Chains A and B, each alone.
Chain A
């Protein structure tokens, strides 16, 4: 009950502040298993994607987030576990032999859709998009049935700049692109570059 109310509150506030306009350019919101991968510049990124999905899709779409940030007792833990039903991964690789992607594989095997940030960390520089970590490639190879949807989040880095508490009420747009094609003989490098360019193609042109 509290979790549902919090979810409603957070999505309402996110929409109110940012206008969160979803442009379904290359696909439509459908209940198929998907991995939405997006550019990452703010802690609000996954909230905005999550808020812009229709409610029945939202229930089965889980954000992938860093355990180091979210696994702190109190409000953060409540939000990520109870409200967002997030998949937490250990970005520090504390145990060398274990696969840090294991929780994500488990979630995909359950049939959940995911929100994933392939840059691995927040991009705080002037570069529009960092190089992708290899995670997206391993997930895509292990789960060929899951649709890979690039989502460009425009402007949220201006709404919530790093280290600032007060969000600015600027408008954000989310562009959902076409599912990324799977090519059988893709190398890891070629795949990641193709995925990155597909995402970058959704970014608004800067003049």
Chain B
């Protein structure tokens, strides 16, 4: 049993892949928090709590939900938009929810515009620029998501959540698997349920220093 835990960084100049540190992916019906397998229900609560605690809770939708390449993708996109609306409705003054797309994975030079997009090859530009302290990946191809989640863990203190349509992501601090429209909306329900019960983590020395 590994002692390694997947925690907000900045972790290391080159943080390890969590899978190489003995972290396993959850089975169907499960999720993981910090690399520890938990029932999915517990992960909804924790993800909602992290969103409501964050100063800049942000959803990063990727190409698999940004483009209406099939009916299910279009429905998921609508669910993501609804989740964002719920988040805006549930946060307190001083919190700033954002919805920033990862439209593709092309390396872009000299650099991306961090106000309008995030790129898996240098995600920290967007995290740092917008002072994002909690984010959720959804609709990002698994390899690109892991690439990005690891870089974020290495260089920022941002709390990362993955709503993965496949087997989940060890490199996120919290990961769901088999994401569906229902699961996205269920997270929204949990955010509504916890509205007003979570104290936001407004500007602190730690977040301003590491962002």
Chain A partners chain B: no
B interface, CB within 8 angstroms of A: none
